[in-house]
Amino acid sequence: MIHAHSLGRGARYYSERAALAEDGNSLSFAELEGRVARVAAKLKETEFKAGDRLALLLPNSPEYIELIYACSWLGVIAVPINVRLSATEIDRVLVDAAPRGIIRDSSLATPTARLPFEKVLDQDPLELGDGVLPDAEAVYDPDAVLALIYTSGTTGKAKGVMVTHANILANIHHFNYWMRYTEKGAVYLHAAPLFHIADFPAMFAAPAFGAGQVTISKFSPENFCGTVERECVSHTVLVPTMINLLTQFGDIKKYDLTSLAVLGYGGSPIAPDLMRRAKEVLPNVNLVQVYGLSETGFLTGLQSSEHTASHVLSCGRPCPGIDLAVADESGNTVEHGQHGELVARGANVMRGYWQNAEETGLAFRNGWFRTGDVGYQDAEGFFYILDRLKDMIVTGGENVYSGEVEGVLYTHPAVREAAVFGIPDHKWGELVMACVVLKTNRSVTSDELIAFCRQRLATYKIPRRVEFEAADLPKSGSGKILKRVLRERYWAHETREVS
């Protein structure tokens, strides 16, 4: 389905144009389509069929994109796995998705799960074979699941967001609305991870409009600037942390970055000071803030011209095709200026969570998807996020569910009570913070607790600060820990309660 509207469109209308580049070498759209056809044929020879799952544990690379396209062609469900997860967390994803196989990089955490098919890509190059998969065999089913994008649940149980082909087609239009591709040969750089919903739809949007693609396996200011200069990159999406590193890069003026026209950013709003510095080092770049979730793709955008004093704290407005509203506790929409939960509907919204009817039911109400974000809409239609209903922290563009970290802390024999929440940080947006009460006659240091978490959690989920409370943590009448009371001391002087 996606092949017909993305790579297939690129091969049909821009066959000789550069489609995918690496280290100065590139494939045309016609050549890329041929390679993807042979990869799909190879997967088919390995007995992959429509509906099977293929897990991908890889850094950004051209091979990653080719594999996603091949899965799309066959109707195989891609399962992109966050490369920062620990082996234990990866195993949880594999148990839930039950893929038929995995293609992974040996430099990443090694899962213990054994699958019928496994390939270590950096040790054994992607075999294309001589097989050919004609267009007639490409799967065409808009409602079929294209990918499972995994996000941790509040208790640590992995939840697979079912992203359909139709969802991604909607994302293509929305992506183009905010990033404004032209059919004159744009170049998109995958600097953010491909497994993340902020970047995943870009690999389908780019070829649909004849744009080339470039990848970098790991972000650094030097790698980013060198790639932009060498490949004449025009579009990319970063998280504010990456932008912050760019503004602090002393050698940035040594690079020719004049090709860069549009820089989308998401994961958290940009601080006014960081926005000012970004405009100083990238004066000709249009900054576009995008807000969304794994379950929805992009929901709103704030264009460069809208980064004004009156709207800089807004996450923007939705584009055509997306309904976004603010609802009260009963699910009824409220007037402008009134606070409530942001809810969304449209062709971009996921089908549900993989094999998890209970969580899917909780995520929807009255036909609307519940984002878990609390905010309001002003009279001009701009949306503002104030807080989160979901017990979640956003650090460096990654989502961390407090309950998952607390669950690990509670397994330590010295911990009696634990509360995890986000505290403001100018570099990462939020840092993971833990307040802990110890059991009587037990002792442990903050460094020891952090090391304990490091063995069980992805790096970005590990508490960066641990403070010990002498008395019980504050609680409501029903006995629930009042995290808001704990958070207030850290957020009292901030303009918003979340980043």
Same domain for 373 and 410, yes or no, is no
Q: Residue 356 is part of a domain; what is its CATH number? A: 3.40.50.12780
What confidence score (pLDDT) does residue 94 get?
A: 96
Could you tell me the two tokens for 217?
């396996």
Looking at residue 3, the DSSP 8-state letter turns out to be H
pLDDT above 70: residue 156 = no
**Roughly what angle, to the nearest 10 degrees, separates helices 62-74 and 29-45?**
60
**Of 353, 377, 401, which marks where a domain is finished?**
377
Rounded to two decimals, the pTM is 0.85
Residue 385 within any structural domain of the chain = no
Over residues 65-71, the mean pLDDT reads: 95
Lowest mean pLDDT segment, chosen from 30-34, 131-135, 344-348, 378-382: 131-135
Lowest mean pLDDT segment, chosen from 274-283, 327-336, 388-397: 388-397
Same domain for 77 and 197, yes or no, is yes
Query: Average pLDDT over the chain, rounded to whole?
Result: 89
What confidence score (pLDDT) does residue 311 get?
A: 85
Q: How far apart are CA 364 and CA 352, in angstroms?
A: 9
What confidence score (pLDDT) does residue 22 get?
A: 85
Same domain for 371 and 244, yes or no, is yes
Amino acid at position 383, single letter: F
Q: How far apart are CA 69 and CA 133, in angstroms?
A: 13
Distances (CA, A) of 428 to 160, 365, 422, 443, 496: 26, 33, 11, 30, 15
What confidence score (pLDDT) does residue 496 get?
A: 62
Q: Which of 361, 360, 324 is nearest to 161 (CA)?
A: 360
What confidence score (pLDDT) does residue 333 get?
A: 94
Provide DSSP, 80-101: E--TTS-HHHHHHHHHHH--SE
The total of structural domains in the chain comes to 2
What confidence score (pLDDT) does residue 490 get?
A: 84
Same domain for 302 and 330, yes or no, is yes
Asked whether 243 and 426 are in contact (CB, 8 A), the reply is no
What confidence score (pLDDT) does residue 131 get?
A: 60
What confidence score (pLDDT) does residue 435 get?
A: 95
Q: How far apart are CA 376 and CA 335, in angstroms?
A: 9
Same domain for 359 and 403, yes or no, is no
Residue numbers of the domain that contains 476? 392-491
What confidence score (pLDDT) does residue 377 get?
A: 96
Same domain for 324 and 221, yes or no, is yes
Residue 159 within any structural domain of the chain = yes
**Of 342, 377, 412, which marks where a domain is finished?**
377
pLDDT of 373-424, one tens digit each? 988 999 999 999 877 777 788 888 888 888 789 889 989 999 988 999 999 8
What confidence score (pLDDT) does residue 485 get?
A: 84
Q: Which of 156, 174, 151 is nearest to 349 (CA)?
A: 174
What confidence score (pLDDT) does residue 297 get?
A: 94
**Of 345, 377, 409, which marks where a domain is finished?**
377
Same domain for 413 and 280, yes or no, is no
Q: Residue 427 is part of a domain; what is its CATH number? A: 3.30.300.30
Which position has the higher pLDDT, 12 or 179? 12
Amino acid at position 447, single letter: D
Residue 383 within any structural domain of the chain = no
pLDDT of 306-316, one tens digit each? 988 788 788 99
Looking at residue 459, the DSSP 8-state letter turns out to be G
Residue 497 within any structural domain of the chain = no
pLDDT of 466-494, one tens digit each? 999 988 888 765 566 888 788 888 887 66
pLDDT of 139-155, one tens digit each? 788 999 999 999 866 55
Residue 35 within any structural domain of the chain = yes
Amino acid at position 307, single letter: H
Percentage of residues in the chain having pLDDT higher than 90: 64
Q: Angle at the Cα of 457 (from 472 to 373), degrees rounded to 5? A: 70
Q: Strands 77-80 and 101-104: what pairing?
A: unpaired
Same domain for 198 and 324, yes or no, is yes
Provide DSSP, 302-368: E-GGG-STTTTT--BBPPTTEEEEEE-TTS-B--TT--EEEEEEETTS---BTT-HHHHHHHEETTE
Residue 190 within any structural domain of the chain = yes
Count of alpha carbons within 13 Å of 148, Cβ hemisphere only? 25
- Contact residues for 361 (Cβ-Cβ < 8 A; gap 6+): none
Same domain for 304 and 412, yes or no, is no
pLDDT of 410-452, one tens digit each? 899 999 889 999 998 888 889 999 999 998 899 999 999 999 9
Over residues 328-352, the mean pLDDT reads: 95
Residue 382 within any structural domain of the chain = no
Residue 386 within any structural domain of the chain = no
Amino acid at position 58, single letter: L
Which position has the higher pLDDT, 343 or 396? 343
Lowest mean pLDDT segment, chosen from 146-150, 178-182, 212-216, 442-446: 178-182
Q: How far apart are CA 414 and CA 84, in angstroms?
A: 28
Q: Which of 182, 329, 145 is nearest to 261 (CA)?
A: 182
Same domain for 132 and 256, yes or no, is yes
Spell out the SS3 assignment of 5-39.
HCHHHHHHHCCCCEEEEECCEEEEHHHHHHHHHHH
What confidence score (pLDDT) does residue 232 get?
A: 95
Over residues 163-175, the mean pLDDT reads: 94
What confidence score (pLDDT) does residue 210 get?
A: 94
User: Cα 436 to chain center, whole Å?
Assistant: 30
Same domain for 373 and 396, yes or no, is no
- Phi–psi pair at 254, nearest 5 degrees: -80, -10
What confidence score (pLDDT) does residue 150 get?
A: 95
Same domain for 113 and 245, yes or no, is yes
Q: How far apart are CA 232 and CA 186, in angstroms?
A: 9
Q: How far apart are CA 296 and CA 345, in angstroms?
A: 9
Over residues 323-330, the mean pLDDT reads: 95
